Amino acid sequence: MRLDLSLPITVFAATTIAIAAYPLCESRMKALYKHERLKTRDIILLIVAFSTVITVTALAPQLALLVFFVAIYSVGLFLFAYTVWPRWYVAVLFPATFILLYFNHWTIVELDIFSLTFVVFLAMALNGFFTWKTSALFAGLLTMVDVIHVFGTKLMISSAMKIVALKLPLAIILPTFPSEGQIIIGLGDIFLAILLSLQTSQRLGRNLGSICALSISLMFLVLEAVQLNFKLQFFPATVIVVVGWLATVCLGKALSIRH
């Protein structure tokens, strides 16, 4: 039986780091962004925007994608760095380093480091805009769009292949272990895992937040076992994230009933 531990461990580590780091910078983020909670309409617009980006990514020329995503990513790195270190001359080092490495010395190692750093900061920065209910709505709608674009339109697959071909830090590429091979996962799936774990930590307590991170990681372990042994090439990973989260929510409710 073929298994992979690399992805589950990576997802668990990134999520656990976010859970531990969020309380340290929560007040700074609230002061900087002056959070207004997203409403149902905002979540729907966000999902529509996400679906549009997937479609455009799948259909647009590679050069246009390269310019667009490098620019957006650089701005995002600056903003997130400025959140932690409120000095522009410090924050600007992050996008400058990214651009320098991307066009001169870009390997899978650098790609994974920047991708993981970006998605952890992104999830922590946006967590304050979500409530428990809007997080659930976001997860449900995002999963529905993911399923449609993977099994229906196939646009998710086309856009993922372009992102990987350009080596943009919008995905993570890991060598599978102990089985040989590679596994690729988009940042959207890891973002959702971190967001739901952070929300669980705030709603049900930090212990259940950590259990949520573990539950999602174990779901990835199961999914990859199915993929590796039955040669299932593409599967919407948001489904796995939501299943792991719902298992934790059910556990939290069971524990509250017992007490």
Contact between 190 and 119 (Cβ < 8 Å): yes
Domain ranges of the chain: 6-253
The pLDDT of residue 66 is 94
Q: How confident is the model at residue 34 (pLDDT cuts 50, 70, 90)?
A: low
The pLDDT of residue 256 is 80
pTM exceeding 0.85: yes
**Is 153 a residue whose pLDDT tops 90?**
yes
Query: pLDDT > 90: what percent of the chain?
Result: 79
**Is 160 a residue whose pLDDT tops 80?**
yes
Contact between 120 and 18 (Cβ < 8 Å): yes
Q: pLDDT by residue (tens digit) across 200-231?
A: 999 999 999 999 999 999 999 999 999 888 87
Q: pLDDT by residue (tens digit) across 100-152?
A: 999 999 999 999 999 999 999 999 989 989 999 999 999 999 999 999 999 99
Residue 17's alpha-carbon distances to 30, 121, 232, 237, in angstroms, are 19, 10, 30, 21
| Helix residue spans in 85-152 (DSSP H) | 88-91, 93-104, 108-127, 132-147
**Is 161 a residue whose pLDDT tops 90?**
yes
The pLDDT of residue 35 is 64
Q: How confident is the model at residue 29 (pLDDT cuts 50, 70, 90)?
A: confident
| Residue of higher predicted confidence among 86 and 66 | 66
**Is 167 a residue whose pLDDT tops 90?**
yes
Residue 93's alpha-carbon distances to 72, 74, 97, 101, 137, in angstroms, are 16, 10, 6, 12, 36
